Amino acid sequence: MEPTTSTMQDRLEALSPRLAKYAACHATPNLPTDDLIQLATEEILTHCSITDNDTFMLRLADWRMKNAVRRERVYTARIEEFDLESECQGDEDDELIITDLTDQPEEAVVRRELVRRMNDLIGAMKPEYATIISMISDGKTQREIAAEFGTTQTTIGDRLQKIRKMFAEAGLSPALVMA
Q: What is the CATH number of the domain that holds 136?
A: 3.40.50.2300
| Mean pLDDT (whole number) for 129-141 | 87
Measured CA to CA, the distance from residue 24 to residue 152 in angstroms comes to 31
Q: Which residues does 2 contact at the CB level (< 8 Å), separation at least 6? A: 11, 53, 54
Contacts of range 98-103, beta carbons closer than 8 Å, 24 or more positions apart: 101/71, 102/71
Residue 151 sits in which domain range?
103-179
- pLDDT, mean of residues 89-111: 55
Residue 57 three-state SS = helix
Same domain, 98 and 121: no
Final residue in a domain of this structure, among 79, 102, 125: 102
* pLDDT given for residue 173 in this prediction: 72
Give the confidence band of 145 by pLDDT, cuts at 50, 70, 90: very high
Please, what is the end-to-end C-alpha distance for the chain in angstroms?
Answer: 21
Asked whether residue 17 falls in the same domain as residue 83, the answer is yes
- Domain total of the chain: 2
Same domain, 164 and 108: yes
Residues 88 and 114 both lie in one domain: no
Residue-wise pLDDT for 25-84, tens only, equals 888 887 888 988 998 898 888 888 888 888 999 999 998 888 888 887 776 666 655 555
